[in-house]
Structure 1
Amino acid sequence: MKSLNLNEKTLMYYGRLARGQASLHFSQFGEDIIINILLKKKKEGFYLDIGAHDPFVFSNTALLYHEKGWRGINVDLDQRYVDRLQEQRPRDINLCCAIGGENGTIDAVIFENGAFNTADPGRQARLMQDNTSAEKRSVPMRTIPSLLDEHLPPGATIDFLNIDVEGIDFIALQANDWTRFRPAVIAVETHGMNLHDPASNRVFQLLVSKGYQLRSQVWVTSIFTL
């Protein structure tokens, strides 16, 4: 077995991390650090991660699960990633379906690189032009309330909602029952958000109308709090 040689820079990083002078993150752009702060570093909360993708790569909930003792519901339309989530997050409920505006089925496109998977027809057409590995599949679709009615454990509330469903985020959020399910923090991808005119964005309009405030914009991710 080869010995593990740590150079001075690596040792410095680990030392900083151990002393609380550096932060570990899994998100693509460090969103989970901001989310953790907005959640007041709460321990043992409950999340709903829609479009969860990988248990670690680009994950906005991995830090909460592994460092803060959280658990939750992970949803992805690609069974490959649901299997990975099941393996790496046994405390979680891991479901394979799409989330949208109604219950039923929807045509989704699954790519070899699952980060591009989408149920949005416009994105499907654009992405399939340049990707021959795409495969169309019919997948079950649920609304947020119907999914939570079936799978939310008794007594649990959603503290954090992460939603990244590649083009139909607004439709999925619009179908939520905001009288019953009001996460304290919401992170949602808002491609094309104009920070000089956020009110022109439909997701911004919807969440503000439900009592939320935009607290941070990290590249394409908007983070809202009550």
Structure 2
Amino acid sequence: MFISQAQNFEDVILWRALKNIENGFYIDIGAQDPVIDSVSRCFYENGWRGIHAEATMHYAEKMRQDRPDEIVIQAAIGIGNGSIRFFEVPETGLSTSDRDSAMKHKAAGRSVVETDVPLMPLSAVFAQGGDREIHWLKVDVEGMEASVIDSWAPSPARPWIVVMESTLPNSQETNYEKWEPKLLGMGYQFVYFDGLSRFYVSDQHQELLRFFGPGPNVFDDFVLAEHTTYAAVLQSRLAERDQMRAEQARIVLQVKGDILEGDRRIHIFEEELSASRGREAIIGAQLYEAHHSLSWRLTRPLRKINALNARLLGLPRRGVRILLEQIIRWLSRHPEWKDRCLRLLYRFPKFRGLLEAFARSRGYGVTPHGLDVGREAEWYIDAPKGTSGQWKQLLEDIPTKSER
């Protein structure tokens, strides 16, 4: 299985077309790191060898340490000789000889270090490969692509496949219009664009055209290396997903705990409700038994009198006096009811004493057998002991006949 190391699966597309070549040869212009996002790494591990051109001293030295059996050129590739002003953006792949691009990186807050590096034409790089077939050429020089193509001649070298970065640094804005016409004029045909780089096939190798069209897919039988930028993005997103799932699991556990607590409280409430209903049933049974008991029926008149007493006490005193006087007059005219009331009053001596005292104060005669209308009372009955304070006050406020 093929292990992709490149930034944007460039190596997958190249391997699809060239995997039947044994011990092939490549040239990587702007190679950068020997492992991370390296287009050549998987080919190197499959027996291929090549030439690397890298202007940044840091990455050129890393390449030499990692690939001692390959040619590593620390130089900028393009038109001219001598040296060129180069702008390093440390620990990135954004280093460039294009001042405008460098200033944009600096304005974005990145560190930019200016240095002088040797300048070498592409034709001189081809010359170091001798007469070997160049199976692929990759150019990634952050804005210097046109200068690289212009420095190709007078070399007759024609790599089978050319891969050119064709957008401005950190942008989807294309810039291939500046150099593509010249490349097409050298006998190349555009075959594929991966969103970052454009792929061209030499007219001398038309048999390779059939390998281009679809992007990397399951039929390419590849996996991602863990250290690639794309894999790092995936790992970061997977970590975010795992964190989100862990948070969701925590929330679910909390909700489940809340539900269990709610169920427990509902169970306690149901038990309390059941106990309350039991107590209610017991009290109801006791009330039923009490209401149907002999003592309850016998004391019914007393409860009615107590209720009347409560209502009378709640009335104004003048109204009570008038009401009592009317009752006494009515009873005096109806002997049969008077006798019944007197018999009933004998059961309640305190209340009877109050009524007799009231009758005397109104000039009604009081005999052991009842009240006689029209005869002055010969004696006065004080309010019985134990009479409620309200009734005592009521009797004290009642004027006697002589006062009237």
Q: Which has the higher contact order (CA 8 A, sep 6+)?
A: 1
SS at 2:62's partner residue? Answer: helix
Aligned counterpart, 2:14: 35
CA distance in 2, matches of 1:129, 1:42: 45
CA distance, structure 2, for counterparts of residue 200 and residue 52 of structure 1: 20
Structure number with greater Rg is: 2
CA offset digits 1:70-114 (Å, max 9, x no partner): 111101011111111112112210111100111121111111223
The equivalent of 1:10 in structure 2 is none
Is the alpha carbon distance of 1:132 and 1:190 closer, same or farther for their aligned partners in structure 2, counting shifts above 3 Å? Answer: closer
Question: Does the CA-based 8 Å contact 1:98-1:140 persist in structure 2?
Answer: yes
What's 1:52 paired with?
Answer: 31
Write out aligned runs for 1:11-26 (5 A): 17=1, 23-26=2-5
Tell me which moved more, 133-142 or 206-215. Answer: 206-215
Shift of 1:63: 1.3
Normalising by structure 2, we get a TM-score of 0.46
Does 1:130 find its partner at 2:116? no
Aligned to 1:187: 163
Residue 220 of structure 1: how far off its partner (Å): 0.9
Measured in 2, the distance between the counterparts of 1:178 and 1:39 equals 27
Note closer, same or farther for the CA distance 1:104–1:175 as it changes in structure 2 (3 Å cut). same
CA deviation map 1:97-153 (0-9, x unaligned): 10011112111111122311011122112112123521100111100112333x32x
Q: Deviations over 1:164-183 (max 9, x none)?
A: 00001111112202651110
Consecutive unaligned residues in structure 1, runs of 5 or more = 1-16, 18-22, 193-197
Q: The residue matched to 2:37 in structure 1 has which SS?
A: coil
Q: Is the 8 A contact 2:25 2:48 kept in 1?
A: yes
Which letter maps to 1:156? R
Change (3 A) 1:89 1:122: same
Query: In the alignment, what sits opposite 1:98?
Result: 76
User: Structure 1, residues 15-64: CA drift from partner, whole Å, max 9, x if none?
Assistant: xx4xxxxx410111111010112225312111111100001111111111
Q: Which residue of 1 aligns with 2:192?
A: 216
The 2-side partners of 1:89 and 1:166 are apart by: 23
Aligned-residue Cα RMSD (Å) equals: 2.0
Q: SS state of the match for residue 116, structure 1? A: coil
Q: Counterparts of 1:159 and 1:199 in 2: how far apart (Å)? A: 25
* Corresponding residue to 1:139 among 92, 104, 117: 117
Name the amino acid aligned to 2:159: P
Structure 2: any 5+ residue segments left out of the alignment?
169-173, 203-404
**Counterpart position of 1:4:** none
What is the CA–CA distance in structure 1 between the aligned matches of 2:5 and 2:109, rounded to whole Å?
Answer: 27
**Which of the two has greater strand per residue?**
1
- Output the CA distance in 2 between the equivalents of 1:36 and 1:204: 23
Q: Residue 81 and residue 200 in structure 1: after superposition, are their counterparts in 2 closer, same or farther (change >3 A)?
A: closer
**Identical aligned residues as a percent:** 25
Measure the CA separation in 1 of the matches of 2:142 and 2:175.
21
Pick the structure with more helix per residue. Answer: 2
Amino acid across the alignment from 2:198: S
Match of 1:89 in 2: 67
**1:64-75 map, 5 Å:** 64-67=43-46, 69-75=47-53
